[in-house]
Structure 1
Amino acid sequence: MKRFVCLILFLITVHIKAQEQYNRDSIVASIERQILLPTIPEYTVQITDFGAKGDGVKDCKSAFDKAMKVCSKQNGGTIVVPEGIYKINGPIHFVSHVRLHLEEGATLVFGTNPKDYPMVLTSWEGTTLYNYSPMIYGYNVNNVAITGKGIIDGEGHSLWSIWKPKEAKGKQLSREMNHKELPIEDRVFGDEFYLRPQLVQFVNSKHILIEDIKVEDAPFWCVHLLKSESITLRGIRYDAHNKNNDGLDIEQSKNVLIENVTFNNADDNIAIKAGRDNDGRNTSEMPSKNIIIRNNNFKGLHAIVIGSEMSAGVENVYAYDNKAVDYVKRGIYLKTNSDRGGFIRNIYVENTQFLDAEDAIYVTSNYHGEGRGFFPSKISNIHISNVSFGEISNTAIVIEGYPKLKVEDVWLDHITIKSAKNGMTLTNTKNVQFNEVVIGEKQTVPSAVN
């Protein structure tokens, strides 16, 4: 009897401690203190002072290069782009302490000749390599910003769109180089490999702000933050409907705030990643972590995604007070396979309203059926609460682990799903707890015999 009482007291103590350990407001405030907005000197230039014309005809590439160079000599400043359409045949490469400000009515339209985009150190679906420069690119820069009500247009529907069916050779080669751990300097792609560039990418950078701009027609991923930290992404708007047009890809980055973003893109709205296979595992000291996702409007393929490139690990994600404004294929989607390794842990999704979807909550260690079992991933400590869905055309809740490494410690609390073709699939799981989970019509008093 004494042992039984002690066990009950122990379980109560553990439960209380678990509750005490999670205080969202305190945790979020702690992360926010580590996210510093960029400091930009007061020096300001107009892009038109360097020969740029917003007529949609003149190539303004040299004007942006000159403006960046002048700001660099001044130890930073703001480049103002007034109303107009600015054609740019090649990338804008950022320097530290610079803000690119697009006034309302300003549109940057990037050219589509791959030869205008030099090779830079980047990453493609989680593998580090050299490829065509993203259209806006910053490497090893600090205190940078892209702001204003203007538009960044990648013209992805043109030549870049026909590269998607041709990318298999380059994609496969990149993964072989990853698995064989070839030196990065030998991983040079570009001509005849058809790996499309990202629209906006910052690498190894710190104190980044992207605010209010509209993103359109990206060739590949829209906005990619790689191995960076202290990042604020807010008020961004999307109209991007090409293949692989992820909205925000956060990869091996930390201390990130994503808020008040209006998504309307053809792939994942927010994808949190951490490198693929050996590349990710060999940089395990750089997981993606400390990410706040709040007050966003979802519309696109999947809303909140972790993976599938997550081999360095993803932890400490706090998503709350978001909503879907239209259909999404999957609402909450955690995906990996048994060759990724790494971990997904300490994920909190709260107070979020979705509409109709194909699957509501999908957690899988068997993404695309890939993997030979050499590096299973550990998925644990997943909390989903106060989340609602409309009609689900496939399955309401899927949680599937790996036989040798189960999905563990999942809490589903106050989940309501209007209807679903299939209710729930749980395989290879441990300690999945439910409270007030309703799929279909909520049942109350049982019917009488007659």
Structure 2
Amino acid sequence: MKKLLVLMLFCYSISSSLAQQRNRIIETKINVKAPFGNYNITVPDFSKAVKLNIVDFGAALGNKEKTTTAIAQAISKAHELGGGTVVVPAGEWLTGKIHFKSNVNLHIEKGALLLFSADPADYLPAVHSSWEGMECLNYSPLIYAYKCKNIAITGEGELRAQMNTWKTWFSRPKAHMESIKRLYNLVSAYAPLNERSMVNDTANLRPHFIQFNRSENILLEGVTITNSPFWTVHPYLSKNVVIRNINIYAHGHNNDGIDPEMSQNVLIENCQFDQGDDAIAIKSGRNPEGWRLKTPSKNIVIQNCTVKNGHQLLALGSELSGGIENVFVNNCIVVDGAKLNHLIFIKTNERMGGYVKNIYASNLTSGKIDLGILGIETDVLYQWRTLVPTVKVKLTPISKIYLENIQSTNVKFISRILGDKRLPIHTVSLKSVKADTILKNRHIHENFISGSAVKSKVK
């Protein structure tokens, strides 16, 4: 009997060890090269992790409650095992919110569609999120990761938001404006998070589609994302983020494609954007939020991407109070016929503070652009200009902007740089930045310090 017990314990030990080995997450490093210096990104590898099919946890086609519960249970099981891949098989799966846990890969197989509910009640209770650079308690993002490590969304399937409700929230009626005014004032007063609830009948602050919040070692690869209530992919206060080979189509209000905010060590590559707003917008908090959190967006490389529509290929700001530095966009294409304002647009105002430096762009091509290749503006306030007063003046130092080998067909200007006379912009270099047709002035420049370098070879 004793020998049998010893044998059973030995076999259990071997089985447990094998399970741990099978389910372990391998952390791999990607070396990213950039003109500001190379850096490494750590991402998870789930090739040795167990696969958990949501059908085995009770998911049923057309049944939102069963599928939502099954996905949550599969994520919990994968987490308990020390790592696992939650598989969404082919078919149309109606679901509510999805909340990640560490060491989980959500894999959307080819032919699979995760169709997210348009009922705001399915995204309650409120979670620690943000709205246009201000932290608050708001509706949960459709897919949400909070303080997670080693997570991924992969596959060849589709994530789609139903817009029936969200599109009615696009307008900004007085009640909505009063709510964001209240949030702005709470942020300015450094009110604690529990006083910043934005879930009520009037705020209608739409959730992000995907938010990686205070997380690390993140991979988003292969999937198609269609529609979004708000910003589509939002790495927030996160580090080690790789986003590659994804397709985004979102033409609602504030439908940026990818918004790295106060995030570091980011690689975005081989992605396709068809946006109602900026394709990629780098941010770092609004006003006191960025000053309080003191986390710049830093070390971000964007390469080999295609833009079909969007306000900008790359925007920096206007929420940039924590600072933005070390950004490189290279070898990207804006297709002819795209509706675009600028290729690169840096925007701030006297309330933001922060800083922008070490921004590089090279090997970009585009068709017609409604405005120009490079825009830098220091008085961009949108609705905030009349909604709330300036609480504290903090100007944004902007320097070391380098553009090289860029070609467009038709623009109003090559560069429009409107600095603040109280803190002029300096060190902007344009080399081989060309357009076939320039409708107005090649360069429109105000408030440069003496000796600023703006060089351009223009057709």
Q: Same fold (TM over 0.5)?
A: yes
Structure 1 window deviating more from structure 2 (220-229 vs 422-431): it is 422-431
Aligned to 2:185: 176
**CA distance change for structure 1 residues 138 and 262 in 2, over 3 Å: closer, same or farther?**
same
2:434 maps to: 416
CA distance in 1, matches of 2:65, 2:34: 51
Aligned to 1:266: 276
* 8 Å CA contact retained: 2:36, 2:326: no
Residue in 1 aligned with 2:353? Answer: 341
**Displacement after TM superposition at 1:27 (Å):** 4.9
SS in 2 for 1:218: coil
Give 1:437 shift: 2.4
8 Å Cα contact 1:98-1:144 kept in structure 2: yes
Q: Is the 8 A contact 2:346 2:375 kept in 1?
A: yes
Q: In structure 1, what is the equivalent of residue 44 of structure 2? A: 38
2:416 equivalent among 382, 391, 398: 398
TM-score, normalised via structure 1 length = 0.88
Q: Which amino acid aligns with 2:453?
A: Q
Note closer, same or farther for the CA distance 1:218–1:74 as it changes in structure 2 (3 Å cut).
same
Contact 2:262 2:284 in 1 (8 A): yes
Tell me how far 1:290 sits from its aligned partner.
0.3
- 1:433 deviation in Å? 2.4
Where do 4+ consecutive residues of structure 1 move more than 2 Å? 24-30, 53-59, 368-373, 430-437
* Alignment of structure 1 residues 220-369 onto 2, 5 Å: 220-284=230-294, 286-299=295-308, 300-326=310-336, 327=338, 328-360=340-372, 361-368=374-381
- In structure 2, C-alpha distance between the alignment counterparts of 1:282 and 1:62, rounded to whole Å: 37
Partner of 1:210: 220
**What is the distance in 2 between the residues matched to 1:98 and 1:175?**
35
Query: Contact (CA 8 Å) 1:94, 1:137: kept in 2 or not?
Result: yes
Match of 1:82 in 2: 89
Q: Report the alpha carbon displacement of residue 59 of structure 1 after superposing the two structures with TM.
A: 4.8
Shift of 1:115: 1.3
- 1:368, CA displacement in angstroms? 3.7
Equivalents in 1 of 2:225, 2:92: separation in Å?
14
Counterpart selection for 1:185 from 184, 194, 213:
194
Aligned sequence identity (%): 34
The 5 A counterparts of 1:90-239 are: 90-117=96-123, 118-155=125-162, 157-165=163-171, 166=173, 167-192=176-201, 193-239=203-249
| Offset from partner CA, 1:242-263 (integer Å, 9 cap, x none) | 1111100000000000000011
Which deviates the most, 163-172 or 140-149? 163-172
Give SS of 1:250's match.
coil
Q: Distance in 1 between matches of 2:78 and 2:36?
A: 35
Q: How far, CA to CA, are the matches of 1:143 and 1:82 in structure 2?
A: 22
Q: Please tell me whether the aligned partners of residues 58 and 86 of structure 1 are also in contact (alpha carbons under 8 angstroms).
A: no
Structure 1 residue 29: Cα displacement: 7.0
- Partner SS for 1:347: strand
Distance 2:115 2:69 in 1: 14
- For structure 2, the 5+ residue unaligned runs are 1-31
Q: Distance in 1 between matches of 2:189 and 2:277?
A: 30
The corresponding residue for 2:395 is 376
Residue identity opposite 2:85 in structure 1:
T
Structure 1: runs of 5+ lacking an equivalent:
1-23, 443-450
Q: Report the CA distance between 1:419 and its aligned residue.
A: 1.8
Supply the AA of the counterpart residue of 1:396: I
Kindly report the root-mean-square deviation, in angstroms, between the aligned alpha carbons of the 2 structures. 1.8
Q: Give 1:58 shift.
A: 6.7
1:169 to partner: Cα distance: 2.4
CA distance in 2, matches of 1:325, 1:304: 15
Partner Cα distance (1:72, 1:396) in 2:
51
- Cα distance in 2 for partners of 1:199, 1:342 equals 27
Write the distance in 2 (CA, Å) between the matches of 1:39 and 1:103.
17
Provide TM-score, normalisation by structure 2. 0.86
Could you tell me how far apart the structure 2 residues matched to 1:57 and 1:282 are? 40
